[in-house]
Amino acid sequence: MTRYDYDLFVIGGGSGGVRAGRVAASLGKKVAIAEEYRFGGTCVIRGCVPKKLFVYASQFSEHFEDAAGYGWTVGERSFDWKTLIENKDREIARLEGLYRKGLDNAGATIFDSRAVLEDAHTVRIVAEDRTVTAETILIATGGHPSLHPALPGSEHCITSNEAFHLEELPKAIVIAGGGYIGVEFANIFHGLGVETTLVYRGKEILSRFDKDLRTALHVEMEAKGIKILCGEIFSKIERRADGRLDAYTSADRVLTADQIMLAIGRKPNTDGLGLDKAGVKTGLKGEIVVDRYSRTNVENIYAVGDVTDRVQLTPVAIHEAMCFVDTVYRGKPTSPDHETVATAVFSQPELGTVGLSEEDAAKAYAELDIYMATFRPMRHALSGRMEKMVMKLVVDAATRKVVGAHVLGVDAGEMAQLLGIAVKAGLTKEDFDRTAAVHPTAAEELVTMYQPSYRVKDGKRVD
């Protein structure tokens, strides 16, 4: 019999926390979990899930246009933002209910409250003003969008949090940040008919992705009518007399919009969590420092997900949670595998990727064979849309292993999931070559690029 109230107390009811709490409870552990906002966390409540619903909504404008080439006449079109928000909120509430039900069915105790550490084994349930104790504590409090206090007028800006609940669809929006969120929301707002400008401080959007796909996406986004300004940052934001906002940029430009959105990264939620009282160490960004088993410097306290700032992706948080359960409750010490994680940016067109970009591979391998195809997919043959698809395989010339696979185009995210298996398994280009094509698909290009487009030797392209 444990001398604590709970075997496990989980702080944070997002993807990582809920998974760990539910599975530990189903193994017979006495589990409690506290969430101060809504169960489901960023991914379900104000991240991946509502974002994807917005992406679907925003794609209809092009679908209607493309229909004509296939013989359809689409009548008068109009878009109602409030309907989208209401329907999205209903779906999110349903998913939140499923998260709670899963915990409940597994026998976990749910606290709808903020929870903070009092010491290494004691947690304060803030809403009930009482403390409970636990043998093991798992911190899975996630992160929040970075604000920009140094920017004059930044209080007028929204982040992705607010973008999901705007009272009205803006007529014009300016978004700062060329990462996942900035790029995805630029496409969402544009697709919904909003005049959209993206301001990015670097040379090319999506700095961590393969250069050819970044450039190709930039071209396609601009072709749709999204204005992209690279090499610029905001210098100040001002509210105008008419209620609209002016964003002044470092290039002496003034961009006027109804909303200005910051999408400049996310920070771990560790403020006021009592980490000092428990003696838990944090890093420079406030992230909880953990070892390879997600254990903090305090023996009985673990942390998973965005609060540890390892890889800020939902499936990674879930994987870390499962490894935590294996390590602590199944007697199988397992460290999360953060290598070769497939990912997608739900831009329009979509970008799906797994493994190394050409630039990173060139640093890791002496010689590379690059296979690349740029083509107009069949679905645009009759629509008249000129949008191009790009597929690229990065192959280590010495072993012939495919070390990176990148797709820009319709359903690239779906393809990245399947490519992820092949690249993770360490398959060679010859394995790809002897795989039969599925015809007619766009993805067949991935198994029919027989000749290298060019080679890279010692970091330099040689044709």
Interface residues toward ligand NDP, by CB under 6 A: 176-182, 184, 200-202, 207, 233, 263-266, 312-313, 343-346
Nearer to ligand NDP, 210 or 396 (CB): 210
User: Which phi and psi angles does 462 have, rounded to 5°?
Assistant: -125, 130
Contact 462, 456 (CB under 8 A): yes
Q: With respect to ligand NDP, which residue has the nearer C-beta, 122 or 187?
A: 187
The DSSP bridge pattern shows strands 143-145 and 130-139 to be: unpaired
Count the Cβ atoms, other than its own, within 10 Å of residue 235: 15
CA distance 185 to 257: 15
**Which CB sits closer to ligand NDP, 123 or 351?**
351
Catalytic residue, chosen from 190, 338, 406, 439, is 439
How far apart are CB 141 and ligand NDP at their closest, in Å?
15
237 within 8 A of 246, measured Cβ to Cβ: yes
The b-or-e profile of 306-344 (16+ CB within 10 A means b, else e) is: bbbbbbbbbebbbbbbbbbbbbbbeeeebebeeeebbbb
Q: CB 363 → ligand NDP: shortest distance, Å?
A: 18
Whether the Cβ atoms of residue 8 and residue 24 lie closer than 8 Å to each other: yes
Specify the residue for token string 């919009």.
257
Residue number of the CB closest to ligand NDP reads 179
Closer to ligand NDP by CB, 313 or 325: give it. Answer: 313
Q: Which is nearer to ligand NDP, 265 or 286 (CB)?
A: 265
CA–CA distance, 336 with 316 (Å, rounded to integer)? 8
Contact 237, 260 (CB under 8 A): yes
Instruction: Assess whether 165 carries a catalytic annotation.
Output: no
Please state, in angstroms and rounded to a whole number, the distance separating the CA atoms of residues 226 and 349: 13
Ramachandran region, residue 342 (left: φ > 0; alpha: ψ -120 to 50; beta: rest):
beta
Q: How far is the CB of 44 from ligand NDP (least distance, A)?
A: 13
Residue number with CB closer to ligand NDP (66 or 306): 306
- Describe the strand order of the beta sheet including 195-200 as a list of residue ranges: 227-230, 195-200, 172-176, 259-262
Query: Least distance from C-beta 152 to ligand NDP, angstroms?
Result: 14
Using CA atoms, how far apart are residues 411 and 209, in angstroms rounded to an integer? Answer: 17
Q: What are phi and psi of 258, to 5 degrees?
A: -85, -30
Distance CA(183)–CA(230), nearest Å, equals: 13
DSSP state of 74: -
Taking the complex as a whole, the smallest distance from the CB of residue 37 to ligand NDP amounts, in Å, to 17
When the beta carbons of 2 and 207 are compared against ligand NDP, the nearer one is 207
**CB 197, CB 175: distance < 8 Å:** yes
Nearer to ligand NDP, 96 or 306 (CB): 306
Minimum separation from the CB atom of position 47 to ligand NDP (A) = 7
Nearest approach, Cβ of 50 to ligand NDP (angstroms)?
11
Residue 201 Cβ vs ligand NDP, minimum distance, rounded to whole Å: 4
Q: Which amino acids are annotated catalytic? A: 439
